[in-house]
Amino acid sequence: MSLDPERISAEQHPITAEEQDQTFQKVMFRIVPFIFFAYLLNIVDRINISFAKLRMSEDLLLSDAAYGIGTSLFFIGYLIFEIPSNMYLKRVGTRATLTRIMLLWGVLTILMSTVESTTSFYVFRFLIGVAEAGFVPGVILYLSYWFPSFLRGRVTSIFLMAGLIAGIINGPLATWIMTTFDGWMGLKDWQVLFVIEGIPAVLLGIFTWFWLVDQPAQAKWLTEREKHIVLNSLQQENATAKAQKSASAFKQVFLDPRIHLMGVVFLCIYSATNTITYWLPTLIQEFGVKNIQHIGLISSLPFICALISMYLLCRSSDKHLERRWHLALTMGIGALSFILLGFAQHDLVLSVLLLTIGGGACFSAATIFWTIPPAYLSLTAAALGIAWINVMGSLSAAISPALVGAIKTQTGSIYLAFAVIGLLLIIGAITILVAMPARLLNEQKAIQKS
């Protein structure tokens, strides 16, 4: 077998810091805008149901309890098929898996326009959850093929930021589509919303097949030297990781009650962010806002607040090297805002202010929270521990929408449901302070530095 002279030459010369920076900038410009846009579309298509509900509930005689159940069924399908999707990814590669996921969720989003009953609503929401299963883990895994850990955190944060941007644009975009294209091709406003917002996902799925490659070695847009730089950085990191592996990771995670308590805290936070995501338009409507475009504009405010507060709180947390009280107080602010909503329901300005502050606090709390598990967990147990905490928190996504819908149906008001979410946030804030004394985090940091 003949050897490639260009590859041999690339491997023989030492890698400079400047070369490394230039190479990874090239990789970032190729991959990061794509995954950012893909996740933005993913969140928009996932939560557009919250605005479609304002109209489709009347046509389908869909109760709030039924809407909550349908929303929960999405996450049940998502959780059940996430592991099979990841196993399939290992067999066929990331490019084929992400192409399949985007095409399926896009087509099913379009087909949501054909829903005619509560039963078909349940079926389609479950199927969309199945279709989307594995998307975020698939992208996170894909990033590990291209970026070493010193860049992966930055790239992952940019990827996840697309979720907040989606929250900002989703309301105005959805209500504009529903208002402008009502009656297009004989479709009602909520039906048009699903069709128009489902098409980009289908097109992006097709584009994915031609744009992505599974591994750096397959990238025709990288030179042999650049491929060597990427692979060399990853190989060095993998060698270090193998040296740190230990068979005790399972025991470190599942026999440590503090890991499970952190999962409870994340469940409380995720219950709040998930409730905001799927019940925000309905809550704004409860304020007395009837114009659907006004609802869309107001719905952007919590996400704008989250972007600003997230930056300020994370900067303060990093500056003071303190996580627990930053998290607990942020959750407390969110809880107080939600509990006070019921008392301010006749004052539109105050209600919107409380909603904006509460929503911003909850999304910021989620960001601060994820600085705590890596600081507590050993290097050996970090991957498994973080995955388990995420699974525990994600269970709330299958519970909280149905819980909110049931409370609203039984009481006729959504304010009690938000008060319950507020109490969950208080429980989570107390739990993090009790379960994670500051000395434990400080001790673990010292161990990891030594």
Which residues neighbour 252 within 8 Å (Cβ) at sequence distance 6 or greater?
Answer: 377, 378, 380, 381, 384, 385
Contact 271, 422 (CB under 8 A): no
At 159 the pLDDT is: 82
Q: Residue 258 — φ and ψ, nearest 5°?
A: -65, -30
At 243 the pLDDT is: 52
At 440 the pLDDT is: 61
At 154 the pLDDT is: 73
Residue pLDDT, tens place only, 258-270: 889 999 999 999 8
At 317 the pLDDT is: 81
Residue pLDDT, tens place only, 397-424: 778 888 888 888 888 888 898 999 999 9
Intra-chain end-to-end CA distance of the chain, in Å: 47
Q: What domains does the chain contain, in order, with CATH numbers?
A: 14-234 (1.20.1250.20), 245-450 (1.20.1250.20)
Which of 391, 375, 390 is closest to 443 using CA atoms? Answer: 375
Contact 148, 160 (CB under 8 A): no
Which residues neighbour 166 within 8 Å (Cβ) at sequence distance 6 or greater?
Answer: 39, 40, 41, 42, 43, 44, 47
Q: Report mean pLDDT in 10-residue bins for the chain, 450 residues.
A: 50 72 90 93 91 89 89 87 76 90 95 93 94 84 80 75 88 92 91 95 95 90 88 71 56 85 92 87 86 89 87 80 89 95 88 92 86 73 73 80 84 88 95 81 49
What residue has token string 């992006």?
204
At 6 the pLDDT is: 52
At 247 the pLDDT is: 47
At 81 the pLDDT is: 83
- CB burial class (10 A; 0-12, 13-18, 19+) of residue 308? exposed
At 393 the pLDDT is: 81
* Backbone torsion region of residue 15, taken as left when φ is above 0, otherwise alpha when ψ lies between -120 and 50, otherwise beta: beta
Contact 215, 230 (CB under 8 A): no
